[in-house]
Amino acid sequence: MKTKFFLSALAATLLLSAQGLTTTAYAGGRQIDVPLIRGFIPSTGFDDNDTVEFVAYAHLPNSCYRLSGHRVLRDNNGTPTRVALSAIRIMDGVCAEGRDLPQDLLAVVPVTETIRLGRLSAGTYNVSYDRLVDGGQVVVEQRRFDVAMARTSNVDDFRYAIVNSAQVASVNRTLSGVQARLSVTLTSSCTNLGEVLTVRHEDTIVALPQITVQEGVMCTQELRSEERTVDLGTMDDGTYLLHVRSNGGMAKNEVFSVFRPTGR
């Protein structure tokens, strides 16, 4: 499987070079555009006082590449229409041109980049990107999403915990389903982590870790950590995004894969 991914990514790199998308070499490396394996954006959940996020998941051809940044193309109104990732091919040391790489450096390197598209007016949007598909072909794909009108002047409609991390191991698909492990921070003695609601749409799961406040008790400022295991349900084979809303209009993003156990 790794060999297949490597050949596909390498073919895409060569194709991109042939299309003139590789930029000029500069000191210390050569920059290329990187097609995505998948681009994610929650189709709902953002309103017009949120910062909209696009999550890019890609494979670098091998360990001699480093993710160097991203670009957001916008139309004349400032509306984002296209995103792209770029990487640098390191050209010195073990990665010097003409040298054979050790086997442990040949495998593709998965990378995830959260791209902030900014605050957008209420409406429906489409953002395109280059996607790498089987056989090394690069096709243009679009993700469609909605931005709702905010119901309040607050950054969030609900009060969320401060999310420190959200983790989902890439797992074998089983009847017991997939679970996420959330680590949050609470900021007072009278706040607690309430029910964590989840909303799933196709390949994106949005988790909402709302807090509850105890009324009629003395409340002091203090930082407390809490962890929670959240059931995400059963899933088909594929790559998914877990998007966890956090305090202050922020979010944590975790890309994970679900696959059928070998031999079944």
Per-residue pLDDT of the chain (264 residues; tens, 9 = 90+): 433 433 344 444 333 333 333 343 444 568 899 999 999 998 667 888 888 999 999 999 999 999 999 999 999 999 999 999 999 998 888 888 777 888 888 999 999 999 999 999 999 999 999 999 988 899 999 999 999 888 766 656 678 999 999 999 777 666 568 899 999 999 999 999 999 999 998 899 999 999 999 888 889 999 999 999 999 988 888 999 999 999 888 889 999 998 877 655
Task: Say how far residue 166 (Cα) sits from the centre of its chain.
Answer: 12
In a domain, 70, yes or no: yes
Are 25 and 118 found together in one domain? yes
Contact 67, 85 (CB under 8 A): yes
Are 173 and 196 found together in one domain? yes
Are 38 and 107 found together in one domain? yes
The strand pairing partners of 225, in sequence order, are 185
Q: Which residue carries 């050790």 as its tokens?
A: 102
Cα 113 from Cα 60, distance rounded (Å):
12
Q: Which of 123, 148, 173 is the last residue of a domain?
A: 148
Tokens of 240: 């998914």
Are 226 and 177 found together in one domain? yes
Residue 142 domain boundaries: 2-148
Cα 260 from Cα 237, distance rounded (Å):
6
Are 101 and 167 found together in one domain? no
Are 68 and 134 found together in one domain? yes
Q: What pLDDT shows up at residue 173? A: 62
Q: What pLDDT shows up at residue 172? A: 65
Q: Which residue carries 């407390």 as its tokens?
A: 224
Are 71 and 105 found together in one domain? yes
Are 25 and 65 found together in one domain? yes
Contact 241, 205 (CB under 8 A): yes
In a domain, 201, yes or no: yes
- Which amino acid, 32? I
Asked whether the whole model's pTM tops 0.85, one would answer: no
Are 111 and 179 found together in one domain? no
User: Domain tally for the chain?
Assistant: 2
Contact 240, 180 (CB under 8 A): no
In a domain, 252, yes or no: yes
In a domain, 155, yes or no: no
Q: What pLDDT shows up at residue 122? A: 92
- Which amino acid, 140? V
- Which amino acid, 224? R
Q: What pLDDT shows up at residue 174? A: 60
- Annotate 70-89 with three-state secondary structure: EEEEECCCCCEEEEEEEEEE
> CB under 8 Å to 263, separation ≥6 — which residues?
none
Are 70 and 120 found together in one domain? yes
Q: What pLDDT shows up at residue 216? A: 83
CATH number of the structural domain spanning residue 198 = 2.60.40
